[in-house]
Structure 1
Amino acid sequence: MQTHNSVQTANDCQAGRLIVLTGPSGVGKGTLVRSLLQRHPQLYLSISATTRSPRTGEIDGEHYYFVSRSDFEKMIAQDQLLEWAEFAGNCYGTPRLPIEQQIAQGKSILLEIELEGARQIRQSFPSALRIFILPPSFAELEKRLRDRRQDPDEAISRRLQRARIEVDAASEFDLQIVNDDFDTALQQLETAIFG
């Protein structure tokens, strides 16, 4: 059945569109995006621009577009970004031109992004399909954050506080998907994207 859908979707994607995925840290957005890209190579992953320096192994134009702060500020001034924000002293944003070019070629683009960026996209690209990924519960979200073993308790507490604010905004989105069972969530995403 999934193979049949994949064949159909290659034709259905001719129109091309922007698909925005948002949700709190630890909800599984990145894993869902990676699975979608593996299963549907016709999808394209948006690449963000950033003013931060490349980390070991990161390639310009593949992981990020690495730009100077002055170039980033020019991009803002010239309305070349669909959205942007500053985190930890570095700027991050979604360049408009590559998205518009891919859509013009009939490709659908996935953009995994934070809430504020998704709100900006609603204004700058209103035709985007905006999907919010929800945790099954805050207890499960906390468990997932702790199981990653990436953050100290204080950072996990901050992420959970932020998650409550983000979850309160889920109704602003076209669709909400609860990532309780991964395969079910993935199937719901595929249905939303490909019909």
Structure 2
Amino acid sequence: MSKGRLIVLTGPSGVGKGTLLKSLLQRHKDDLFLSVSATTRSPRPGEVDGKNYHFVTRPQFERMVAQGEFLEWAEFAGNCYGTPRKPVEEKIRSGKWVILEIELDGARQIRRSFPSALQIFIAPPSMVELEARIRGRAQDPEAAILRRLQRAWEEIEAAGEFDIQIVNDDLERALGEIEIALFEPVAAVC
């Protein structure tokens, strides 16, 4: 992996992106670098500033937007999220593969600024299962859950915009599909 690359992982809230990403990074810790996003939302139990997210205030976030410090940013479920530009660009220049775990609007922004990025969409097996996962986390108020579910419908409709679509109905199978997309050489077309 001598040539740097940007990989975008997107899917609805609760689809299991974080779990897949954690497993992928454990298996390929020397090959992949996870970009840590900034957010204005409060930390969930167990989340660590600088590891899970860079937790910032809305005024800090707005200053960062105004100064062009994000590759992409969006507001989702009442909070802002953004990918800090500098660490991603530095890692790619040094030959690292950088993974962004971002939502649909951010993925679309990346597609415009980094058209060579590999874009992977993680889909739920069904909306019923997705709702059960979101509610099972017991971390969001009802209004936030409903906003996440409404947004999930919109995101799933956009899945065709992505290079690869993977249904996360079985963690190991979905992880294997991501690994194939990243590490298996593409067969030459004759």
Q: TM-score, normalization: structure 2?
A: 0.82
Distance 1:176 1:89, change over 3 A: closer
| 1:45 matches 2:34 | yes
CA distance in 1, matches of 2:39, 2:94: 25
CA distance in 2, matches of 1:101, 1:183: 31
Q: Is the Cα contact below 8 Å between 1:48 and 1:95 reproduced in 2?
A: yes
TM superposition shift of 1:60:
5.0
Aligned to 1:164: 153
Q: Is the Cα contact below 8 Å between 2:44 and 2:139 reproduced in 1?
A: no
Judging by fraction of residues, say which structure has more helix.
1
Aligned to 2:187: none
Q: Is the Cα contact below 8 Å between 1:27 and 1:179 reproduced in 2?
A: yes
Q: Is the Cα contact below 8 Å between 1:85 and 1:91 reproduced in 2?
A: yes
Quick one: which of 15, 24, 37 aligns to 2:3?
Answer: 15
Distance 1:191 1:63, change over 3 A: same
TM superposition shift of 1:129:
0.8
Distance 1:103 1:141, change over 3 A: same
| 1:93 matches 2:44 | no
Task: Give the RMSD, CA atoms, in angstroms.
Answer: 2.5
CA distance in 2, matches of 1:79, 1:16: 22
| 1:134 matches 2:105 | no
Aligned to 1:34: 22
CA distance in 2, matches of 1:47, 1:18: 14
Quick one: which of 80, 83, 96 aligns to 1:107?
Answer: 96
Q: Unpaired segments of 5 or more residues in structure 2?
A: 185-190
Aligned to 1:25: 13
TM superposition shift of 1:75:
3.4
Find the residue that maps to 1:109 and give its secondary structure.
strand
- 1:7-59 Cα distance to aligned partner (Å, 9 max, x none): xxxxxx21121111111111110000000111110211101234567778765
Distance 1:182 1:90, change over 3 A: closer
Q: Is the Cα contact below 8 Å between 1:82 and 1:125 reproduced in 2?
A: no
| 1:122 matches 2:111 | yes
Moved more, 156-165 or 58-67: 58-67
Aligned to 1:6: none
Q: TM-score, normalization: structure 1?
A: 0.80
Identity of aligned residues (%): 68
